[in-house]
Structure 1
Amino acid sequence: MNRNKRRQEDNSFTDYNNNNIKKPRQNKITLSDRITNLEDLSNELFYEIFEYLIDHHAFQAFYDLNYRFQKLVLNSNSTIKINISSISKSQFHHYLTDRIKPCTSRIELFRLSNPCIDPCSLLLPIMKNLTQLTTLILNNIEADFIEPIVNQLSSLPVLSSLTIVSIDNIITKNNLYSKLFQLPKLKYCQIYIELLDIPKKFSIATNEFSTIEWLVINHRISIDKLLILLTYVPQLRRLSIDDLVQSEFDQLSKTSTNLNYLTNVSLKFSFHFNVPFHQFEILVENYFHQVQVLNIRTQSVSLDLDTGKYLNANRWEQLISTSMLNLRIFNFQQSYRLFRSNEERQAFDYFINKFNSKFWIEHQWFFDFHYHETKRSTTAVFYSRNPYRKKDYVLYDELTDNIYLTCYDINEDPIHHICLHTTNIIKQCYDKFPNATELTFCEDFEVPRVDSIVVDLNRFLPLKQLTKLSIKCHRFTFEQLIELLQFTPNIHTLELDSIVLFRTDPILIQNHELTQWVSKINHITNVTIMKEITVEKIQLLTVAFPRIEHLTINLFKEDLRPIVKYLFSKLNNNTRYLSLLHISKQRHDWMILLKSIIKSKKLPRNYVFKVINRTLYIWW
């Protein structure tokens, strides 16, 4: 109170007792008077700060400061989003004990993507207390854990979104879909489980139906099994199938189930087991009457010279005119490889010219084609000219005239991922991809001097906006990568075919001022190197990207010892954030060798080792 009184007196410019004007007192203001302590901020403001942070980052930053922050973290009424991906083993146990378990009833979203964590041991003991959990995402988990978890999902009363992605093949023959379809609140379901099959005894639904409105199946499924599954989801609005294969039965039976709400469908047909067009017609005639958006992508080794299969414009016109009267957007792509003769190319030209009839023009559906030649093969691609709302876009050599029509301005479409095959296309697409966040340089991309294309690239897409960069071409040097990364400070995921030095001394690159600058400004936490790597290149990598949390590499056996010694050393400040290492294509004896290396070098032993699909996972 006295302090407030003094402030009032100091701010008074009038002396009412003497009725004279009084000059303000000249107080000396120190730097400490201007600084507000962090703890002076209100609880409400801290809760707003927490909302902008990943939950375990906020927990690590504030929980152990003092008693007040512990109470702030634990006693809030707001819901929690748990994301367990790049977190160290010691931090995880602290987070589990002092955050997840005490606040289980407040968890709204739970995401697990670390294959070294047993999801059953983590989730099953707390499952009944997850009363507010609406979204469960299990990514990169072992298939053996899936069924025990699915069996307990019915104890989650408000679960509305479920994603399950396995890292290996499933063995069980039980029908997991029948259990998922029984969840009473489920609206979104995404499944990717290799070798997951549907038992033959699984029959068409009669009186039990699912509430699912959005179904995504990314593993292989035959069209006859899909026809059965769809009878269980009468409320379905969106359907996406990533690997649809032909039925083993040539004749498919029609069903009486109507999908009156299904408006958006995306299908990719398997390359080796392409669905015959007559089987696809049955799927359309059964379920696609209300579809407004259809995305089709199919690949074939060769072209059927007689029917054209999916390049038969007349057959498409008949199918759309009779069974898809509500179709507004038709996004189609068909690719063929290995042309055997000039006759096949002439047949290809003949079939695609049929897509210029009055029917296609009236619907404003326009198409183009491209021949893409590599050293190994030739590919012909026939595709919808307007990209609509595609998230991925592949650019080859040159754009055909009028490829972007005014009515389908690409600037209005949220295309996020761009794949570049050549530099020729860049200048033709200035300002066409303002929403892109991912950039891929494809295998056949010819690398020019980076400084010669950076200006064009920045007009092609906003480099500062990129969050993921993938370089699959083989001659993109590490120096060129550093030159590019100085303009892309927000990238967090980096994928490289290899680290190319071209006889340049890696020490010189490490000490270069540009490398030092990129090391300070970049936020790269997730790195994948596809080809074998040496300890010298690992050292260069960690110097340039000292915030790596998750590293995936491939190496030769003789390089295992020096790389492990370097990465696991406590004295190595450049790997202080690294907590998850994947070594791909490893041999069976590598785990034994790795354990002996750690023991002999007296390195920290608090590690979890797992071998899944010939990949060695190490978490610490």
Structure 2
Amino acid sequence: MQVQENDIHQNSNWIKKRKLDNVDLFSYLYSKRIYSNKCRFEDLANELFYEIFEYLDLYDIYRGFFNLNQRFQNLIINSNFPNQINISTMSKSKFEYYHKNILLPNKHRIYLIRLSIPFMSELIFSSAYTILRFIHLQTLIIDHIEMKDFIKLSNHLAHLRELHSLIISLADHIQSLNVLFSSIFQLKKLKYCKIEYTIKDNQNSISFDLTRRVFSPIQYLIINGQFSFNSLNNLLSCLPELHHISIQSLMNSNDNIKIDDLSYYIQLRYLKYVSFKINSIDFNKFENIIKQFFDYVEILRLTMNSDEEYLNAKRWQQLIVSHMPYLRIFDMKYQGSIGNKYDVIKQFSSSFWTEKKWFFTHEHDWKSTMDRGVFYSTIPYRRKDYTYYSVSDEQLRSHNQQENFNSVNHLYICSKIKDHCLKYFPNVNQLTFTLFFNDWNDSTVRNLNCMIPLEQLTKIIFEPYRIPLEDIMRLLYFTSNLHTLQFDTFGFHHNNLDIVRQNYAFEYASKRNKIKFLILRGRCSLHELEFIVNLFPQLKYLETGMNRIEIKQIIRFLLSKTHNKTQHLFYLCIVNTPKVCVKEINVMMKSENLLKNYSIKYINYNLYLWW
């Protein structure tokens, strides 16, 4: 018995040290013979199971333990351990069961909720009474919520005293940043906020200009969307406790707000980290923001694509010495035309930069010489993304250290991959072939496999039009853990898809791949979709355009029970389709009895169907 207690204590300490996924957890327990006769599963202490449950979603706890015996039912129902709800993808019927039998009875114990399908938040947060019952909710993550629903929801979230983290992505184009941030700033306990939104393509970046001064306790703010540079002063002045700010797209704008006319600003004593992607903003304007707010900044990460004055090393040196005395990491990335600035960027190798161990290099596409490329900080390379060009500028590398790309998890390919490329990215799990990449050949996949471990990729994005189908299937051969494919300008480059379906490469790829999420930005015909569902039989989510005259026929095919190729599919998005199709599909569903339990929604010219 003493040995058994020691084993349990050792197992408990190990679980505390690391966050486990289901596979790691049960592999570990099995390796320790917890499932063997030496130490029976039922003999483990309740405390150990509580620690295990901390690392599992509530749905997995019920699915894995609830029906084992009465002990586990009592353990789950009567305990007070905190729960997390992490729903990525789930069919409508399964979610409704989950919502009724698992989520609602445990709402008072839930500290984290993550929802990824727009219909889900409407069901969970259906009334103020329900929302206010989540008394221990600390973190809320909602993907694809409509603005009107978020405004309504935020009014009730303000009453949840423990809510300190909010991550949302808005489904529809927003019309006003004032409304968005007013809704967020009313959450008086909020410390972490990450928001993602879009505006209409023909709309200038919208301004943020509250009529009255409001302060928010937010310490970490991440904005993934276009934000007006002229509104930056207003935003920062509302955040006196700000530690960390990141803006994906800081845009020049034509709004009427004038930075010089603003009558107030505050000193951001806690601001240590700034990351901006700057678009079409003069260095003179941005310099004023640095002088005004960045006195205590320690980490500055900037990405620019215009105004070559950002490549002026002497100007940066003066700015850092005078206005950013605490700066210890200066991470700069300039993408675009370098032109005749080569002698200027060489100034970044002066003693001021090397003594601080701030090093830089330049890469470009050999076909366009110095006209298009990237100038960036290196040694160490700290960013999570990397843009690959085939030529590196060794003259800027006066240091002899080897580049380390361990931080990179998203690799962008912009030009032909060199044979025997020396760059290696051990932790990349997302790959994008950009519009500039048009050099598909027999060696592409082979050279790529020398740069990254292809088997650990989970998502690939193709921006170029008409990728050779043979290369896609060849890539699928090496990417056994890939679950998401995205084609920004879709088109299969092959004359006869029926012939392709008969060859061995297609059969092998269809059996081996694990693609569950497929995004096709262009329009697909019924014939192409028949090919697609045969190639990707594990699909759960499909997003694509369709010819109007084929929409009904395609939906009939996808919902047909005469084949099993779409048995896992339960979520469909038809992009750029007229709103009248919602009514037409509803009529078809009822008249032909295709689905009894489904939801349909129309957002931003896209039709969503969930069943």
Question: TM-score, normalised to structure 1's length?
Answer: 0.81
Distance 2:429 2:232 in 1: 34
Matching of residue 393 in structure 1 with residue 360 in structure 2: no
Matching of residue 498 in structure 1 with residue 460 in structure 2: no
C-alpha change, 1:591 and 1:210, in structure 2 (3 Å) is: closer
CA deviation profile, 1:158-195 (whole Å, cap 9, x unmatched)? 11211121111234675543553453432211123446
Partner in structure 1 of residue 420 of structure 2: 427
CA contact (8 A) 2:601 2:607 kept: yes
State how 1:327-476 maps to structure 2 within 5 Å: 327-336=327-336, 345-346=339-340, 348-349=341-342, 351-372=344-365, 379-386=372-379, 388-401=381-394, 409-411=402-404, 413-425=406-418, 427-430=420-423, 432-449=424-441, 452-476=443-467
1:83 corresponds to which letter in structure 2? N
Distance 1:96 1:378 in 2: 56
C-alpha change, 1:433 and 1:278, in structure 2 (3 Å) is: same
Return the offset for 1:577: 1.7
1:585 corresponds to which letter in structure 2? N
CA deviation profile, 1:463-502 (whole Å, cap 9, x unmatched)? 1211112222334333322222222221121112435251
CA deviation profile, 1:179-229 (whole Å, cap 9, x unmatched)? 5345343221112344675344133x6xxx533221112233333432233
The secondary structure found in structure 2 opposite 1:573 is coil
Distance 2:62 2:513 in 1: 24
The secondary structure found in structure 2 opposite 1:116 is helix
Partner in structure 2 of residue 243 of structure 1: 249
Distance 2:343 2:519 in 1: 44
Distance 2:123 2:593 in 1: 32
Matching of residue 128 in structure 1 with residue 132 in structure 2: yes
Distance 2:60 2:148 in 1: 30
Distance 2:152 2:477 in 1: 47
Distance 1:160 1:84 in 2: 20
Distance 2:524 2:71 in 1: 48
The secondary structure found in structure 2 opposite 1:217 is strand
The secondary structure found in structure 2 opposite 1:239 is strand
Partner in structure 2 of residue 614 of structure 1: 605
Moved more, 99-108 or 181-190: 181-190
C-alpha change, 1:574 and 1:236, in structure 2 (3 Å) is: same
Partner in structure 2 of residue 201 of structure 1: 211
2:142 corresponds to which letter in structure 1? L
Matching of residue 532 in structure 1 with residue 523 in structure 2: yes
CA RMSD, Structure 1 to Structure 2 (Å): 3.5
C-alpha change, 1:426 and 1:167, in structure 2 (3 Å) is: farther
Return the offset for 1:74: 3.5
1:275 corresponds to which of 275, 281, 292: 281
CA contact (8 A) 1:399 1:428 kept: no
The secondary structure found in structure 1 opposite 2:237 is helix
Distance 1:222 1:258 in 2: 21
Partner in structure 2 of residue 479 of structure 1: 470
Partner in structure 1 of residue 25 of structure 2: none
The secondary structure found in structure 2 opposite 1:389 is coil
CA contact (8 A) 1:83 1:110 kept: yes
Return the offset for 1:614: 0.9
C-alpha change, 1:582 and 1:50, in structure 2 (3 Å) is: farther
Distance 1:47 1:419 in 2: 42
Distance 1:181 1:616 in 2: 32
Partner in structure 2 of residue 113 of structure 1: 116
Distance 1:563 1:485 in 2: 25
Distance 2:178 2:296 in 1: 33
Structure 2 portions without partners, runs of 5+ = 1-34, 200-205
Partner in structure 2 of residue 341 of structure 1: none
| Identity in percent | 33
1:214 corresponds to which of 209, 217, 220: 220
Question: TM-score, normalised to structure 2's length?
Answer: 0.82
C-alpha change, 1:107 and 1:324, in structure 2 (3 Å) is: same
CA deviation profile, 1:377-428 (whole Å, cap 9, x unmatched)? 9635433344631000010122222777878654363210111123434632
CA contact (8 A) 2:361 2:397 kept: no
Distance 2:411 2:147 in 1: 32
C-alpha change, 1:243 and 1:175, in structure 2 (3 Å) is: same
Matching of residue 576 in structure 1 with residue 567 in structure 2: yes
CA contact (8 A) 1:478 1:499 kept: no
Partner in structure 2 of residue 587 of structure 1: 578
Partner in structure 1 of residue 321 of structure 2: 321
The secondary structure found in structure 2 opposite 1:433 is coil
CA contact (8 A) 2:406 2:426 kept: no
The secondary structure found in structure 2 opposite 1:571 is coil
Distance 1:122 1:250 in 2: 40
Structure ID, larger Rg: 1
Partner in structure 1 of residue 194 of structure 2: 190
